[in-house]
Chains A and B, each alone.
With several copies, the nearest count.
Chain A
Amino acid sequence: MERIYFDHAATTPMKEEVLDAMMPYFTENYGNPSSVYNIAQVNRKAVDDSRASIAEILGARPNEIFFTSGGTEADNWAIRGIAARKGRKGNHIITTKVEHHAVLHTCEYLERHGYEVTYLDVDEYGLVTAEQVEAAIKDTTILISVMYANNEIGTIMPIKEIGEVAKKHDIPFHTDAVQAIGQERINVDELNVDLLSLSGHKINGPKGMGILYIRRGTRLCPLIHGGAQERGRRGGTENVPGIVGLAKALELTYADFDNKNRKIREMRDYLIDGILKEVPYARLNGHREKRLANNLNISFEFVEGESLLLLLDMEGIAASSGSACTSGSLDASHVMLAIGLPHEKAHGSIRITLGETNTMEEADKLLEKLPAIVQRMRDMSPLYEDFINNKK
Chain B
Amino acid sequence: MYSEKVMDHFSNPRNVGEIEDASGVGQVGNAKCGDIMKMYLNIEDNIVKEAKFKTFGCGAAIATSSMATELVVGKTVEEAIKITNKAVTEALDGLPPVKVHCSCLAEEALQAALWDYATKNGLEFEGLEEPKEDDHHHD
Do A and B come into direct contact in the complex, CB within 8 Å?
yes
Beta-carbon nearest neighbor of A310 in chain B: B59
Interface size of B as a range: 20 to 34
Contacts of A310 in B (CB 8 A): 7, 10-11, 59
Point out the residue from A311, A381, A385 that lies within 8 Å of B11, measured CB to CB.
A311
Contact A304 to B32, CB < 8 A, known contacts A36-B1, A330-B98: no
Within the complex, the shortest CB–CB distance from A139 to chain B, in Å, comes to 39
Whether B58 and A343, one on each chain, are in contact in the complex, defined by CB atoms closer than 8 angstroms, is no
Within the complex, the shortest CB–CB distance from A52 to chain B, in Å, comes to 16
Point out the residue from A41, A344, A379 that lies within 8 Å of B31, measured CB to CB.
A344
Interface centre among B7, B31, B98, B101 (most CB of A within 10 A): B31
Within 8 A of B (CB), among A334-364: 342-344, 347
Q: Report if A307 contacts B (CB, 8 A).
A: yes
Contacts of B18 in A (CB 8 A): 385
Within the complex, the shortest CB–CB distance from A43 to chain B, in Å, comes to 12
Contact A382 to B36, CB < 8 A, known contacts A306-B59, A343-B31, A347-B31: yes
Contacts of B62 in A (CB 8 A): 307, 380
Give per-residue flags for A305-327: 1 if the beta carbon is below 8 A from chain B beta carbons, else 0. Answer: 01100110010000000000000
Bound Cα distance from A382 to B31, whole angstroms: 11
Whether B54 and A382, one on each chain, are in contact in the complex, defined by CB atoms closer than 8 angstroms, is yes
Bound Cα distance from A289 to B31, whole angstroms: 30
Contacts of B125 in A (CB 8 A): none
Beta-carbon nearest neighbor of B39 in chain A: A382
Contacts of B30 in A (CB 8 A): 343
Give per-residue flags for A184-196: 1 if the beta carbon is below 8 A from chain B beta carbons, else 0. Answer: 0000000000000
Q: Report if B27 contacts A (CB, 8 A).
A: yes
Contacts of A330 in B (CB 8 A): 33-34, 98, 101
Bound Cα distance from A379 to B62, whole angstroms: 12
Whether A381 and B56, one on each chain, are in contact in the complex, defined by CB atoms closer than 8 angstroms, is yes
Within the complex, the shortest CB–CB distance from B119 to chain A, in Å, comes to 20
Whether A347 and B34, one on each chain, are in contact in the complex, defined by CB atoms closer than 8 angstroms, is yes
Contact A307 to B32, CB < 8 A, known contacts A314-B11, A380-B13: no
Give per-residue flags for A22-43: 1 if the beta carbon is below 8 A from chain B beta carbons, else 0. Answer: 0000000000000010000100
Beta-carbon nearest neighbor of A231 in chain B: B97
Contacts of A384 in B (CB 8 A): 56
Contacts of A329 in B (CB 8 A): 98
Contact A380 to B16, CB < 8 A, known contacts A314-B11, A330-B34: yes
Contacts of A344 in B (CB 8 A): 31, 56
Q: List 28 A-B contacts (CB under 8 A).
A: A36-B1, A303-B56, A304-B35, A304-B56, A304-B57, A306-B58, A307-B57, A310-B10, A310-B59, A311-B11, A328-B98, A329-B98, A330-B33, A330-B98, A330-B101, A332-B32, A343-B34, A344-B56, A347-B31, A379-B16, A380-B13, A380-B55, A381-B56, A382-B38, A382-B54, A382-B55, A383-B56, A385-B54
Q: A302-B56, A330-B34 are in contact. List 6 more A-B contacts (CB 8 A).
A: A304-B61, A314-B11, A343-B34, A380-B13, A382-B56, A383-B31
